[in-house]
Amino acid sequence: LEDGHVLAMLLPSTAFTAVSVMVENLSSSGMDRITGEVETLRRSLRARLGCDQTNGTFALCFIDGLSYAEEAVSSAIHWGLDDIPLLGGSAGDDLKFETTRLISNGKVTSDSAIIVLISTEIPFHVFKTDNFV
């Protein structure tokens, strides 16, 4: 994304099943709480699909970059996902280091992360890029 932009994602329900959770208060959250949120999210996806399908499933994580917890939170999420691939990024504020916000289901917060589990029969491939030199 470019500076000063917002990311919005729309996935047609005919091809995608998605469940999400906003994890708040990252600075005071333990790894166990975050992993528990992921496990609850996995159960929610399983209930919507009617089976425990990890093939064709991936996770997205968007995290407040000013929480200074990206690595710990990503590790906790990854632990709860088992073999489900994790993709994501951090919300920033043009390097002002003042405030960032995430929005999910009409709720706006800071010091939070949004985790989305998405299942689809559409083939996909996860690849990695590094945007830092």
| CATH classification of the domain holding 35 | 3.30.1330
Residue 96 lies in a domain: yes
Give φ, ψ of 43 to 5 degrees: -65, -40
Residue 41 lies in a domain: yes
Predicted local distance difference test score (pLDDT) of residue 3: 66
What long-range pairs does 125-130 form, CB within 8 A, spacing at least 24? 126/58, 126/85, 126/87
Q: How many domains does the chain have?
A: 1
Residue 8 lies in a domain: no
Full domain range(s) for residue 78: 16-120
Predicted local distance difference test score (pLDDT) of residue 132: 58
Contact present, 97 and 21 (Cβ < 8 Å): no
* Sign of the dihedral defined by the CA atoms of residues 80, 11, 109, 67, in that order: positive
Least confident of 22-31, 41-50, 92-101, 120-129: 92-101
Residue 127 lies in a domain: no
Residue 125 lies in a domain: no
Residue 73 lies in a domain: yes
Residue 7 lies in a domain: no
Say whether pTM exceeds 0.75.
yes
Least confident of 39-53, 63-77, 88-102: 88-102
The pLDDT confidence band at residue 98, using thresholds 50, 70 and 90, is: low
Predicted local distance difference test score (pLDDT) of residue 45: 94
Top pLDDT among 125 and 19 is at: 19
Contact present, 16 and 118 (Cβ < 8 Å): yes
Residue 128 lies in a domain: no
